[in-house]
């Protein structure tokens, strides 16, 4: 089974690997198959970003590390800015991985892995000349690590190491010669003052289990009142419904334990600065009004795959997802967190002055024990029905978010249009990925490419995709019943993006570009290159009408490698010229302007429209 999957990955390797030795192709394919199953929720870009293996990157040395990731409650973290979304109950994990294509692990592999963790993660001693990609990746990780330790408790932060191979796990666990070296890896991390989880040994069976396993939340929910309702006709599947009143404290506990995993089918983002949320918070904390909370609030809608009715007014719920009520849930969590902290400080002797002040401040801002909430629980395994429930129960909210919009006509139309070109649009997360289809384009990537090429906002698309999605949603994805849409305006940016991504990866791996400034552009400015690629074709006629008019010509240029490279190089040179006039000649300044300065988009727009920068 592993062999079959590795061979599938070999067939999907890009052109740079076609002429490499078979053992390198086998090892690379095994690594990609493994990491895709260990981190099933990551998209291809997130997986690609974390791989630091020297053979994969065409570097000299990888110090025994093949991949490095940082997660917050399972979600990939790639920038310091993303940490603002998380709270004191978030679980942060630094993942350090080593992959070996073979039936066993040997002592040299373990020693090399330990040495890599020490140099790259503990001591920060990577030589940029031996692996430039690893050097830059660990610099990003260090920035994130420093920020996490500054803002969060060390109890929230763990380091997890993985040794992954294609043999039988027990052969390693029972090897008395290897055990001390495995323990030494954990000891190294603990001695460096990190909370280290046990080393995870992953063999062939574990990889197959990962592939089959669908991550789901299984929890027990206490309720006060409940009744069951079953909907069934001859032409429909049975649908179990449970309507109940639950203590709001139950919601606070759920969010504390599961965090954003609860809202995978709903709105990911919680908007703290919101008048409605402030009112929810005030009611839940009010001694006078909290008793009426259930009557003031619309409640939650929960979907799940299975419910078990238990004694003492409890449900065991499998695959729990809150599909409506993200704002209420997170607001109740904040009030619950204050209640927990209030109880902690109230039971503590000899409070400091700061703790006394904190206790006084949260005295009126804590969840009241008598508040309850109306909850509707729907038991079904029908994904289409779940999407319909999510869509209809959230129809009153104006917030535009990735997952919530998947069932809108515009996204269904794009999906169908792209299928005619053998492109798979992941409007529903992992729908085509689980079918092993390619090439894939996610809703987030489509929004980024469209905003970069059509709206001329590559900087915003790269650095603030969620903000861009929310602010420009109607511009990117208008209602097809309101506005006539030419779907070629979605296809052309995606075709450019696919080709630019492939070409930049090839150039970086082969180290064929010697201009260090351009190398930085290839690494950090793919969306900018896409924008300037279109400019290099259309020049002063760069607009939506001309893109549609010249659609066939543009598509031919993208598909012809020689023509593509001509315009690609023009785009790279022009982008360099524009950025140097704006940001200067230093590479580190370039990275700052690309990733931080949204004003760069205005400069690019002026340049393209033949105005002075």
- pLDDT value of position 396: 46
CA distances from 329 to 260, 334, 490 (A): 11, 9, 35
User: Mean per-residue pLDDT for 6-13?
Assistant: 84
pLDDT tens per residue across span 133-177 = 888 889 889 989 999 999 888 888 999 999 999 888 988 888 899
> How far is CA 394 from each of CA 262, 298, 326, 436, 498, rounded to the nearest angstrom?
16, 11, 10, 31, 33
Sorting pLDDT into bands at 50, 70 and 90, what band is 595?
low
Q: Would you say residue 397 has pLDDT above 50?
A: no
Write the DSSP symbol of residue 484. Answer: -
Strands (E), 248-389: 300-304, 306-310, 314-318, 321-324, 372-379
Q: What is the pLDDT of residue 229?
A: 81
Confidence class for position 464, pLDDT limits 50, 70, 90:
confident
pLDDT at 96 over 60: yes
Condensed to tens digits (0 to 9), the pLDDT of residues 570-585 reads 999 999 998 888 777 7
DSSP helix/strand/coil, 476: helix
Question: What pLDDT does residue 492 have?
Answer: 97
Predicted local distance difference test score (pLDDT) of residue 406: 76
CA distance 315 to 305: 13
pLDDT of residue 269: 46
**Average pLDDT, stretch 422-448?**
85
Average pLDDT, the chain: 86
**Per-residue confidence at 290, pLDDT binned at 50, 70, 90?**
very high
| Closest to 427 (Cα-Cα) out of 449, 450, 444 | 444
CB 490 within 8 A of CB 414: yes
- Residue 402 has what pLDDT? 59
Length of the chain: 613
How many percent of the chain have pLDDT more than 70? 91
Distance CA(500)–CA(565), nearest Å, equals 10
What does the DSSP assignment read for 76-114?
E--SGGGGGG--TT--EEEEEEEEE-SS---HHHHHHHH
Rounded Cα distance, 70 and 376, in Å: 35
Residue 341 has pLDDT above 60, yes or no: yes
SS3 333: helix
Q: How far is CA 20 from CA 15, 56, 316, 502, 583, in A?
A: 10, 11, 52, 18, 39
> Which of 207, 214, 167 minimizes the C-alpha distance to 34?
207
User: Is pLDDT above 60 for 268?
Assistant: no
Q: How much is the pLDDT for 549? A: 95
Q: Provide the CA 423 distance to its chain's centre, in angstroms.
A: 21
Highest mean predicted confidence (pLDDT) among 136-140, 445-449, 514-518: 445-449
- Per-residue pLDDT, 188: 93
pLDDT at 612 over 60: no
**% the chain with pLDDT above 90:** 43
Tens-place pLDDT, residues 349-395: 889 999 999 999 898 899 998 999 999 999 987 777 777 777 677 65
Digit-coded pLDDT (tens) for 529-552: 999 999 999 998 999 999 999 999
Confidence of residue 103 (pLDDT cuts 50, 70, 90): confident
Q: What is the DSSP string of 125-169?
A: ---TTT-HHHHHHHHHHHHHHHHHHHHS-GGGEEEEEEEEESS-H
User: Residue 246: which H helix or E strand, with range?
Assistant: strand 239-247
């Amino acid at each position: 089974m592993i062999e079959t999957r590795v061979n599938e990955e070999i067939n999907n390797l890009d052109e740079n690997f076609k002429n490499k030795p078979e053992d390198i192709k086998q090892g690379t394919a095994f690594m990609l198959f493994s990491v895709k199953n260990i981190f099933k929720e990551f998209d291809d870009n997130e997986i690609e970003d974390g791989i630091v293996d020297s053979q994969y990157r065409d570097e000299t040395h990888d110090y025994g590390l093949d991949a490095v990731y940082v997660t917050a409650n399972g979600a990939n973290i790639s920038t310091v800015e993303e940490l603002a979304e998380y709270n004191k109950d978030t679980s942060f994990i630094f993942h350090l991985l080593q992959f070996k294509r073979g039936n066993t692990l040997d002592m040299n592999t373990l020693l090399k892995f330990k040495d890599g963790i020490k140099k790259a993660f503990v001591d920060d001693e990577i030589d940029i000349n031996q692996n430039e990609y690893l050097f830059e990746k660990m610099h990003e990780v260090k920035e994130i690590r420093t920020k996490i330790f500054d803002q969060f408790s060390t109890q929230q932060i763990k380091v997890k190491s993985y040794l992954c191979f294609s043999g039988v796990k027990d052969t390693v666990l029972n090897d008395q010669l290897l055990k001390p070296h495995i323990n030494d890896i954990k000891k190294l991390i603990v001695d460096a003052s990190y909370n280290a989880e046990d080393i995870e040994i992953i063999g062939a069976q574990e990889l197959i289990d990962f592939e089959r396993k669908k991550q789901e939340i299984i929890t027990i929910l206490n309720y006060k009142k409940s009744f069951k309702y079953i909907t069934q006709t001859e032409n429909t599947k049975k649908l179990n419904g449970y309507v109940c009143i639950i203590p709001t404290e139950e919601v606070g506990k759920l969010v504390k334990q599961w965090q954003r995993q609860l809202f995978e089918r709903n709105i990911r983002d919680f908007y703290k600065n919101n008048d409605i949320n402030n009112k929810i918070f005030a009611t839940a904390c009010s001694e006078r009004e909290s008793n009426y909370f259930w009557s003031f609030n619309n409640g939650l809608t929960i979907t799940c795959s299975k419910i078990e009715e238990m004694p003492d007014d409890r449900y065991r719920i499998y695959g729990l997802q809150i599909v409506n009520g993200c704002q209420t849930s997170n607001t109740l969590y904040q009030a619950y967190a204050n209640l927990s902290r209030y109880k902690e400080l109230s039971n503590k002797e000899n409070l400091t002055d700061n703790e006394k002040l904190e206790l006084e401040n949260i005295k009126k801002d804590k969840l009241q024990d008598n508040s309850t909430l109306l909850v509707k629980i729907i038991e079904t395994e029908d994904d289409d029905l779940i999407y319909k429930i999510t869509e209809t129960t959230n129809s009153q909210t104006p917030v535009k978010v990735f997952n919530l919009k998947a069932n809108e006509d515009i996204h269904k139309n794009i999906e169908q249009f792209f299928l005619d070109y053998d492109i798979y649009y992941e409007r529903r997360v992992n729908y085509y990925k689980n079918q092993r289809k390619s090439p894939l384009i996610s809703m987030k990537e489509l929004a980024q490419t469209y905003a970069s090429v059509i709206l001329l906002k590559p900087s915003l698309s790269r650095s603030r995709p969620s903000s861009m999605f929310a602010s420009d949603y109607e511009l990117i994805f208008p209602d097809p019943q309101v506005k006539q849409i030419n779907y070629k305006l979605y296809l052309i940016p995606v075709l450019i993006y696919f080709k630019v991504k492939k070409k930049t990866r090839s150039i970086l791996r082969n180290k064929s570009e010697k201009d260090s400034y351009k190398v930085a552009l290839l690494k950090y400015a793919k969306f900018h290159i896409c924008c300037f690629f279109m400019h290099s074709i259309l020049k002063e006629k760069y607009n939506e009408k001309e893109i549609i008019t010249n659609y066939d010509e543009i598509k031919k240029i993208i598909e012809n490698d020689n023509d593509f490279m001509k315009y690609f190089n023009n785009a790279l040179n022009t982008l360099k010229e524009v950025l140097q006039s704006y940001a200067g000649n230093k590479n580190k300044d370039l990275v700052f302007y690309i990733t931080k300065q949204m004003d760069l988009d205005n400069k690019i727009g002026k340049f393209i429209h033949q105005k002075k920068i």
